[in-house]
A and B are shown apart, each in its own frame.
Chain A
Amino acid sequence: MALGVVKDLDSGAAGARADGTAVDPIGGQRPPRWLTLRWIALVIAVGIAFHETLTSVVQQSLQGDPLAYLLFLFPAWGATIAIGTRARRQPNLPIYDRQLDWIIAAWLSVILLMVGNMLLPRLGVTEQLVRLDVFALMLFMMIGAILLFGTRATGSYWATWLFLACTWPLPYRLLGAALGGTTGAFAFINVGLSAIALVVAAGASVRMRIRSAGLALLAGGLTYFVIRSQSSVVVQILPSLMGLAVGGGDALRRSRRARKRRWQKRPTAVTKPVLATGALLAFSVGLSLFLSFSPATLSIASLPSVGAGWLTGPTQLSSWTPTTFSSYSWAPQYFGREAVWLRYWYRSADYPLGPALVADVLTATTVGPFQVYPSVSCYRLSAPFVQATETVELGGGVQASLFYANSLQADSPIDAEWVMLTWIWRVPDTGNGTFQRVTLLSVDGTASRLGIPTPASPGTNGSLRTTFSDILQSTPSQAIPAPSSTAIDRLAAAGREIVSVQRSAAARSKVLRINP
Chain B
Amino acid sequence: MTTQPHPLSSEDALAFAINGLTDRAPLLSAKTTLSRGQKITVASALTLVVASAIAFPHQTALGLVALAIFLYIANLTDRVWLFINGVERSPELRFTRAEALAIPDDELPIYTVLVPAFNEPEVVERLLVNLGGLDYPREKLDIKLLLEADDELTVSLAQDAVRAGVLDADVVLVPAAEPRTKPKACNYGLQFALGEFTTIFDAEDLPEPLQLRRAVLAFRTLPSYVACIQAKLSYHNDSQNLLTRWFTSEYNQWFGYSLPGLMRTEAPIPLGGTSNHIRTDLLISSGAWDPYNVTEDADLGIRLARLGYSTAVLDSVTLEEANSDPINWMRQRSRWYKGYLQTFLVHTRKPRDLVKELGWKGTLRFVTVTAGTPTLAMINVLFWTMALAWELGEPAFIRPLFPPWIFYPAMMSLGFGNSAVIYCAIVAARLDRNPRLLGACFLFPAYWVLMSLAAVKAFVQLVFQPSYWEKTAHGLDTDRDLTSTLTNEGVPSEQASSESGGATNGQVAP
Contact = CB atoms under 8 A, between A and B. Distances in A.
Are the chains A and B members of one assembly?
yes
B395 A5 contact: no
A473 to B, nearest CB: 10
B453 A6 contact: no
Given A93-B328, A103-B453, A9 B393 contact: no
B206 to A, nearest CB: 16
A306 B197 CA distance: 96
A95 B327 contact: yes
B473 A2 contact: no
Contacts of B392: 114-115, 118-119, 122
A121 interface: yes
Given A2-B475, A97-B327, A474-B394, A7 B453 contact: no
A95 B323 CA distance: 12
A232 interface: no
Q: Size range of the interface on B?
A: 35 or more
A95 B394 contact: no
B393 A103 contact: no
Main secondary structure of the interface of A (DSSP, over half): helix
Given A104-B453, A119-B392, A97 B331 contact: yes
Q: Size range of the interface on A?
A: 20 to 34
B327 A99 contact: no
Contact of B119 (A1, A9, A97): A9
A25 B37 CA distance: 42
Nearest to A106: B456
A122 B394 CA distance: 10
A97 B460 CA distance: 13
Nearest to B122: A5
Contact of B327 (A100, A107, A117): A100
B478 A1 contact: yes
A12 B326 CA distance: 21
Interface in A97-131: 97, 99-100, 103-104, 107, 110-111, 114-115, 117-119, 121-122
Given A2-B479, A11-B469, A12-B180, A119 B119 contact: no
Contacts of A11: 118-119, 180, 469, 471
A515 to B, nearest CB: 59
Nearest to A151: B327
A93 B478 contact: no
Contacts of A341: none
Interface string A77-106: 000000000000000010111011001100
B331 A12 contact: no
B340 to A, nearest CB: 18
A365 B10 CA distance: 89
Contacts of B389: 114, 118
A302 interface: no
Contacts of B471: 9-12
Interface in A225-251: none
Nearest to B478: A2
A9 B323 CA distance: 14
Given A115-B392, A474-B394, A475-B394, A6 B475 contact: yes
A110 B119 CA distance: 38
B283 interface: no
Contacts of A103: 453, 456-457, 460
A1 B473 CA distance: 13
Contacts of A119: 392-393
A100 B453 CA distance: 8
A337 interface: no
Given A114-B392, A115-B392, A121-B393, A95 B479 contact: no
Given A100-B327, A111-B388, A9 B472 contact: yes
Interface of A: 1-2, 5-7, 9-13, 18, 93, 95-97, 99-100, 103-104, 107, 110-111, 114-115, 117-119, 121-122, 151-152, 155, 474-475
22 contacts: A2-B475, A5-B474, A6-B475, A7-B473, A9-B331, A12-B180, A12-B471, A13-B468, A93-B328, A95-B325, A95-B328, A95-B473, A97-B457, A99-B461, A100-B327, A103-B453, A104-B453, A107-B453, A114-B389, A119-B392, A121-B393, A122-B392
Given A12-B468, A97-B330, A103-B456, 5 more contacts: A1-B479, A5-B474, A10-B471, A95-B327, A100-B331
